[in-house]
Amino acid sequence: MAKEIRDVVPAHYVLKIKSFSSFAKNNTEKYESSEFEAGGYKWKLVLFPNGDKSRNGEDHISVYLAISGTSTLQLGGPIHVAVRFSLYDQICDRYLTEQGRVTRLHALKAEWGVPRFMPLKIFTNPSNGYLVDDTCVFGVEVFVIKSSGVGECLTLKDSGLYTHKWKISSFSRLWDTYYYSDAFTVGDHKWKVLLYPNGVSAVRNESLSMFLTLVDSDKLASGQKVNARYVIRLKGPDNEVLHQPAVATNWFSSSEIQRGWQSFMPLKTVCERLTDDSCVIEAEVMELSTTGKLP
């Protein structure tokens, strides 16, 4: 149990007891509060004013949280809760609060608490502020932990670096808006290089545009993404590298199947460097990881 002193009143239920000494006079071993609701369930605060002797709580105040009726547990299965018990210090106007661990409640275990919450010797001493004029105040907070199912599963890959070469013999005769290379496999997915010989619309007739495309994006599960590290080079005569941008790392998905460079290289420079009108587009790709919804 983690203890703290705080000013905030317990959020879910407060039990004020007057004439506390009457519990002993009337031989009352146990008191159950009225029902209260928290986290979609109904609960009771259970107090053993002279200690729960069955759980080694002699000479202590024992406090428990109990779900009201076990039919809810039988129908819905076990639930997980985090509980905070509080005791009001009437002198300092603050609450001594103890945070319990997360516990699982079910039909055979419908309550949880602290048999030795506070020694009676400390509790009954008026100078400590917990029992003043035979009056005390207990409180409880209940936090039901429900999994929303939201999360992701990250799978790290070790696909190795794959190099794909695409040879183009007559670059100046590429009249179509764009061209795809043959498909190649890296890791668990298929890829292509996408070439715009005269650039995409934003840089038309100014720059060469080049992209890496995930071919089988339609086979990705809902929310699944693929992380890849890649670079695309343009090589000219004698295998000379005419241009190589910085290595990129990007996520690919069904809604974003291509990543790369719209201004890969100025067209004027391309025409000047391709002296025999042929080139090789070389793509190096490594699949790093995939991520998707939890199964």
* Residue 67 bridge partners (DSSP): 43
Q: What is the mean pLDDT of residues 20-31?
A: 95
Report how far residue 187's alpha carbon sits from residue 226's, in angstroms, rounded to the nearest whole number: 10
Q: Report the amino acid identity of residue 67.
A: I
Model confidence pLDDT, tens digit, residues 68-125: 876 556 556 788 999 999 999 999 999 999 988 889 888 888 899 999 999 999 999 9
**Average pLDDT of the chain to the nearest whole number:** 93
Look up residue 194 and give its two tokens: 């996408």
- pTM greater than 0.75: no
What is the pLDDT at residue 100? 82
N- to C-terminal Cα distance for the chain? 34
CA 138 to chain CA mean position, Å: 35
Report how far residue 30's alpha carbon sits from residue 111's, in angstroms, rounded to the nearest whole number: 14
What is the pLDDT at residue 295? 72
Model confidence pLDDT, tens digit, residues 192-238: 999 999 999 999 999 999 999 999 999 998 889 999 999 999 999 88
Phi, psi dihedrals of residue 195, rounded to the nearest 5°: -115, 130
Which H/E stretch holds residue 143?
Answer: strand 135-145
Report how far residue 108's alpha carbon sits from residue 113's, in angstroms, rounded to the nearest whole number: 15
